[in-house]
Structure 1
Amino acid sequence: MSEILSQFPHLNEPAPGFKAKTTHGDRSLADYKGKWLILFSHPADFTPVCTTEFIGFANAADTFKSMNCELLGLSIDSLFSHLAWTQNIQEKFGVHIPFPIIEDIKMEVASAYGMVHPGAADTQAVRATFFIDPDGVLRAMVYYPMSNGRSINEFIRLLQAMQTSDKNSVATPEGWTPGCDVIVPPPKTPEAIAKRATEGYKTVDWYYSTKSL
């Protein structure tokens, strides 16, 4: 089991570096330094669920960009397949795909990120999504089954939550969205516990306090 886990990237550690050909030219992880990056894989081009996801990412691309976040797709397909598929999406659905897609025929990037799960398919990347922060640290991973598309709105919400936590040194509760109260870190000493009730937070008990931003 430890050998299997070692093959996968770990949260809060540097994301695996890569250099790859994409539909927008060569790209490397270093190109995204100073920005958030969402790297996401899909099983194959010209598949219906993946098409809906790419349309969803494309429609939200400006929102991600406004949050200092770039998008980068990947599948184990050729560059020519990617180009033909994105042109097909433009022609059939009227949606332009504005972000690059990695050509990963040798499965080098997919393997480094643990995107290939033999139980799902030997030659396809699963629906994996990786959030990499401006320092190149892997902050979140989300996996979906082959049969079900991802929620792009949830990825926007998660990015907003992580950026809010980073900026304000707070946590966010279930379903948090901007404007909702955030969770204050719990006290770590008996003295801090005794003081917590007087600090002006919305305190339910010593370990659970919230505040508005």
Structure 2
Amino acid sequence: MTDETAQSFPRLNEPAPAFDAPTTDGRKTLEDYKGKWLILFSHPADFTPVCTTEFIAFAKRQDDFAALGAELLGLSIDSHYSHIAWMLNIKEKFGVEIGFPIIADLNMKVAQSYGMIQPGASDTAAVRATFIIDPEGVLRAMVYYPMNAGRSVDEIHRLLVALQTADENKCAMPENWKPGDPVIVPTPATPEAALARSGEGYDTVDWYFSTREL
């Protein structure tokens, strides 16, 4: 991979790539979402079965994301009119209204800047990528799925809750953490702090592994 190719992919904890693109709800820019969390997710194509299940799942959880101060924004390489037709089809055939905008990225500009186009999967379709961007426009998480396996919207929601809780409480989250579970205390940074850890009141297995309740 060349340096030029590597730089085309976004990186965690750095500013998310800016965009200015047409959507089913007018033009949207990254700046429009400043002050909110943004869940930006791509799909390979409109009117495809796996993508349809994903969009239905996102639509059903939209209020749950909104309760966390997060907006949803979809993207594919399809046209604006294809998006509209697909949204209407989902409402007619599945009884679910898509209440979030979808970027029409025919020139692949947004998809390229976010590394959504991966030649090993397709040269003309965006892979199933999900990006969580914080209120300051910083990319905090990204998850890629293959063309033939749908993503878990429940996991994306769980991840957002974990990120927000970690920020608020200055801690880390263990595997599959959910609200109510213990969190991981930051590891001591000096030998002296490591020796003192056992007496700090945490549930300590060893100096590097301590948990606490929130």
Q: Please give the secondary structure, in 2, of the residue aligned with 1:142.
A: strand
Residue 53 of structure 1 corresponds to 54
The alignment yields a C-alpha RMSD, in angstroms, of: 0.6
Q: What is the CA distance between 1:122 and its match in structure 2?
A: 1.1
C-alpha separation in 1, matches of 2:126 and 2:2: 22
TM-score, normalisation: structure 2: 0.98
C-alpha separation in 2, matches of 1:211 and 1:117: 41
Q: Which runs of 5+ in 1 are unaligned?
A: none
C-alpha separation in 2, matches of 1:122 and 1:188: 46
Q: Which runs of 5+ in 2 are unaligned?
A: none
Alignment of 1:95-134 (within 5 A): 95-134=96-135
* Deviations, residues 151-185 of structure 1 (Å, cap 9, x unaligned): 00000110010001100000000010000000000
Residue 85 of structure 1 corresponds to 86
Residue 7 of structure 2 corresponds to 6
Residue 168 of structure 1 corresponds to 169
Residue 210 of structure 1 corresponds to 211
Matched AA of 1:114: G
C-alpha separation in 2, matches of 1:108 and 1:79: 15
Matched AA of 1:38: I
Percent of paired sites with the same residue:
66
* Deviations, residues 60-89 of structure 1 (Å, cap 9, x unaligned): 000000000000000001100000000000
Residue 20 of structure 2 corresponds to 19
C-alpha separation in 2, matches of 1:2 and 1:191: 43
* Deviations, residues 109-153 of structure 1 (Å, cap 9, x unaligned): 001101001111111000000000000000111000000100000
Q: What is the CA distance between 1:193 and its match in structure 2?
A: 1.2
Residue 40 of structure 1 corresponds to 41
C-alpha separation in 2, matches of 1:5 and 1:139: 18
Runs (4+) of structure 1 exceeding 3 A deviation are: none
Matched AA of 2:176: G
Matched AA of 2:109: E
C-alpha separation in 2, matches of 1:99 and 1:147: 24
Matched AA of 2:184: I
C-alpha separation in 2, matches of 1:105 and 1:164: 37
Q: What is the CA distance between 1:2 and its match in structure 2?
A: 3.9
Matched AA of 1:156: H
